[in-house]
Amino acid sequence: MARIVGGMGTSHVPSVGVAYDRGKMQTPEWQPLYDMFLPVKEWLARIDPTIAIIVYNDHGTDLFFDKYPTFALGAADYYPQGDEGYGPRPLPPVRGDAEFSWHLSEQLVWNEFDLTVCQELAMDHGLLVPMNLCWDHRPDWPIKVVPLQINVLQHPLPTALRCWKLGQALRKAVEAYPKDERVLVIGTGGMSHQLNGERFGFMNENWDQQFLDWIEAEPERVAQMTHQELMEKGGAESVELIMWLTMRGALSPQVKRIDRGYYNPMTTGIALLTLEDAG
Amino acid sequence: MARIVGGMGTSHVPSVGVAYDRGKMQTPEWQPLYDMFLPVKEWLARIDPTIAIIVYNDHGTDLFFDKYPTFALGAADYYPQGDEGYGPRPLPPVRGDAEFSWHLSEQLVWNEFDLTVCQELAMDHGLLVPMNLCWDHRPDWPIKVVPLQINVLQHPLPTALRCWKLGQALRKAVEAYPKDERVLVIGTGGMSHQLNGERFGFMNENWDQQFLDWIEAEPERVAQMTHQELMEKGGAESVELIMWLTMRGALSPQVKRIDRGYYNPMTTGIALLTLEDAG
Amino acid sequence: MAQLEPNRPIDGTYVFDWRLSRKGYRLNKLAFSLSRAENRDAFKENEEAYFDRFDLSEEEKDLVRKRDFLGLIRHGTNIYMMLKLGAATGNGLYQMGAQQRGETYQEFLATRNVGSAT
Amino acid sequence: MAQLEPNRPIDGTYVFDWRLSRKGYRLNKLAFSLSRAENRDAFKENEEAYFDRFDLSEEEKDLVRKRDFLGLIRHGTNIYMMLKLGAATGNGLYQMGAQQRGETYQEFLATRNVGSAT
Ligand SMILES: [Fe+3]
Ligand SMILES: [Fe+3]
């Protein structure tokens, strides 16, 4: 039987991908982030997940506003990399597990989550940057991935509460899978940041730290927040934080915190939280 | 304030579109269908809807299995006609009401229905044939339309119960719209038919009549059925009937039946049911 | 609640679930492409060259070459996608249906209530 | 429950809701198209000709011509789509951000915790 072994919340900042590709993760600017993820790699080696469900969002890479899904689940054996405007990065395709994905889609759709199921889906920094921070892609990614895309671009977005419930349903769906898989759930996005308008560059570290407290110990408080409240506190683009709720909803009510980190060099709080499931 | 004035259930058989275009609706083969819709036109003139929400399904016309949505809502001011493999039919584009559609999308998404919102969506016989039977398209369609597409092609499909709940949420969403609109809800698809395999051509008139009884007076009985049960009783493609539940869920619990008809010339039970809302 | 019961198969029925959708993905992509007139023209002009756009296996090409509609369904072609393949090869729904039933077109029409309503 | 409060606007913030998405649809379509290398080439070669593919209004064309990123945002360009327009015109996120704030690039960098982490 498959089971969830842990959860991780982490931001997905595009410039980290650039620094990674250029071998600059140990320059003074990026060393704090590099160090933040050293214990994560040890933790991952210990809990040894076989599949990662990565809750992320597309950034105008594969999805367009002609047909914009609320929740899109990847159901393929591999996911190519999209082109974010600068040509592709030197990364292999992400490995999937179509059978596991389709199992999840059956459980979730029959449990009243109205997914868009994707047999073709191209990945962008929303998923790839967290992968870069967790795993080496050479010669190939060492883990299989299920991409779960959430609309955080075009309002109406799914509510924080809905994302939380999606996580809870995801846990049940994982536990109904007959094969022995050790599943890590990653929620990406945030923290405080705003990229549009005169308020560009807005950050709020106090709120980011509060969010990290709440998502660990009192996630229902975040689940009750509206998008308006999230944007006021953290900037328009910080609504991405609703994706952390899906991760947290998939974990046991009580969790054991392993690591927590925060670094905000430029326009976004780059956070990390790793949680072990109580089973 | 907008309100729902009535509901209609009807099949959407492609050959009816062909007969319509060729002016053959009054040949012996199609006269029974033509006659079935005469009182409908009188009824429509009486209740005078300003917008029709048409719950239909795409048949491989615009949507493909690369990214297949469970529920897709049109949010445009017009919807072009797709090409079903024979070139376009002589019909004008369907007129939409983007503002009303987007209102519905906000209400539904915030109420935990995970829509795919479509600013471009091409129509096929699933929506156009019911329109042909209700309205003359010359010189232009006399009504605005909100297309609501439901996955009945690629399992997992939304459950009958989920479609029923979608209808109930749709009613609330309509009633929250500030403008005075008189809304007709049409559920299309079915009745019994099967187009794949050695069981091609399967029909079950007894079940079709039973379904018509239940959808009017005991819709919860249909809402409890599984896709397996629906397919056993009515053929693989008769799962389209779940779309009638969205229409019925949007109406008042008690309804006044206006017309009911049934004709099964070839491979599908062609049914009609018109219901007036108790308000 | 589970909506399908794989242990209760329905005779002569191929439920288009994820297994079939995966299996037939390339065939469905080909069929879907035929909803564009220019693709239909290209297909009609040179079927073999058209196959190359979709990375079909030899078995899949053969199913199309033979207009083996039951075989196509069994291989995961979705019925609504197959309708476009029918349109491009001069096979309407009822012709494809008769073939799936193992009947001639006339035999099939004779089983209908109003066989002339085609 | 309503998630947005239009009566409580956030200063200097353009929430990408349906009104903006409708308004900016053509601009977003142009920007999205630039995720393909051949389209970027075509755009760079002849911007005016490229506009014609997207049925832009004269006002919309002008916003692109002037690289008026705040104007583009106000006109409904989604920030993530605009990043592709930035990439094709040599404007990174932080350049576009500085312009939206009404600052020079250097002024903007000076407001950051680690302005060299670009
Ligand atoms: Fe993001
Ligand atoms: Fe249909």
Chains C and D touch (3+ CB pairs under 8 A): no
Taking an 8 Å cut-off on Cβ atoms, the answer to whether A110 and C2 are in contact is: yes
Tens digit of each residue's pLDDT (9 = 90 or more) over C69-118: 999 999 999 999 999 999 999 999 999 999 999 999 999 999 999 988 88
3-class DSSP state of B266: coil
CA-based nearest residue to A5, from A248, A275, A193 = A275
CATH number attached to the domain at D18-110 = 1.10.700.10
Those chains having 3 or more beta-carbon pairs within 8 angstroms of chain D are A, B
Tens digit of each residue's pLDDT (9 = 90 or more) over B179-193: 999 999 999 999 999
Taking an 8 Å cut-off on Cβ atoms, the answer to whether D100 and A157 are in contact is: no
Return the beta strands (E) in D1-118 as ranges. Answer: none
Burial label, A152 (beta-carbon count in 10 A; 0-12, 13-18, 19+): buried
* pLDDT at position A95: 98
Quick check: B138 pLDDT over 90? yes
Are B23 and B258 in contact by the 8 Å Cβ rule? The answer is no
**Strands B78-79 vs B255-263: parallel, antiparallel or unpaired:** unpaired
ipTM of this complex: 0.97
Give me the amino acid identity at B233.
K
Calculate the CA dihedral of residues C9, C11, C16, C20 and round it to 10 degrees: 80
Quick check: D118 pLDDT over 90? no
Residues of C in contact with B159 (CB under 8 A): 1, 3
- Stated as kind and residue range, the H or E segment containing B196 is none
Q: Residue B200: which pLDDT band, with cuts at 50, 70 and 90?
A: very high
* pLDDT at position C116: 87
Q: Residue D53: which pLDDT band, with cuts at 50, 70 and 90?
A: very high
3-class DSSP state of A270: strand
Task: Tell me the C-alpha distance between B76 and B74, whole Å.
Answer: 6
Closest chain B CA to residue D1: B110
Spans of all domains in chain C: 18-110
DSSP string for chain C? -----TTSPPTT-----HHHHHHTHHHHHHHHHTTSHHHHHHHHH-HHHHHGGGT--HHHHHHHHTT-HHHHHHTT--HHHHHHHHHHHT--HHHHHHHHHT--HHHHHHTSSSTT--
DSSP string for B69-113? ESEEEE-SSEEPBP--SS---S-PPEE--HHHHHHHHHHHHHTT-
With left for phi above 0 and alpha for psi between -120 and 50, is residue A23 left, alpha or beta?
left
Catalytic residues of B: 125, 193
Residues of A in contact with C22 (CB under 8 A): 98, 102, 119
Are A239 and A227 in contact by the 8 Å Cβ rule? The answer is yes
What is the nearest CA distance from D4 to chain B, expressed in angstroms? 10
Residues of B in contact with A120 (CB under 8 A): 66-67
Closest partner residue to A116 (CB to CB) among B70, B119, B157 is: B70
Those chains having 3 or more beta-carbon pairs within 8 angstroms of chain C are A, B
* pLDDT at position C6: 92
Taking an 8 Å cut-off on Cβ atoms, the answer to whether D97 and A200 are in contact is: yes
Task: Tell me the C-alpha distance between B54 and B51, whole Å.
Answer: 9
What is the nearest CA distance from B104 to chain D, expressed in angstroms? 11
Quick check: D116 pLDDT over 90? no
| CATH (one of 3.40.830.10, 3.40.190.10, 3.40.50.1970, 2.70.240.10) for B3-189+243-277 | 3.40.830.10
> Which ligand has its closest atom nearest to the C-alpha of A59?
1
CA of C52 to the centre of ligand 2 (A): 31
Closest partner residue to C112 (CB to CB) among B196, B231, B265 is: B265
What is chain A's mean pLDDT, rounded? 97
* pLDDT at position B127: 98
* pLDDT at position D1: 84
Tens digit of each residue's pLDDT (9 = 90 or more) over B112-124: 999 999 999 999 9
3-class DSSP state of B56: strand
Which own/partner contact pairs does B210-213 have at CB distance under 8 Å and 24+ positions apart? B211/B241, B211/B244, B212/B9, B212/B260, B212/B262, B212/B271, B212/B273
Are A178 and A100 in contact by the 8 Å Cβ rule? The answer is no
CA of A82 to the centre of ligand 1 (A): 15
CA of A59 to the centre of ligand 1 (A): 7
CA of A71 to the centre of ligand 1 (A): 15
**Strands A116-118 vs A71-74: parallel, antiparallel or unpaired:** parallel
Query: What is the pLDDT averaged over residues B35-58?
Result: 97
Quick check: B223 pLDDT over 90? yes
What percentage of chain D exceeds 90 in pLDDT?
95
Q: Residue D95: which pLDDT band, with cuts at 50, 70 and 90?
A: very high
Taking an 8 Å cut-off on Cβ atoms, the answer to whether B98 and D3 are in contact is: no
Taking an 8 Å cut-off on Cβ atoms, the answer to whether C21 and A110 are in contact is: no
What is chain D's mean pLDDT, rounded? 97
CA-based nearest residue to D68, from D48, D85, D47 = D85
What is chain B's mean pLDDT, rounded? 97
Q: Is C25 on the interface with A (CB under 8 A)?
A: yes
Those chains having 3 or more beta-carbon pairs within 8 angstroms of chain A are B, C, D
- Stated as kind and residue range, the H or E segment containing A4 is strand A3-10
Tens digit of each residue's pLDDT (9 = 90 or more) over B233-253: 999 999 999 999 999 999 999
B132 to each of A29, B20, B245, D13, D15, how far by Cα in Å? 65, 7, 22, 46, 40
Residues of B in contact with A98 (CB under 8 A): none
Tens digit of each residue's pLDDT (9 = 90 or more) over C5-29: 999 999 999 999 999 999 999 999 9
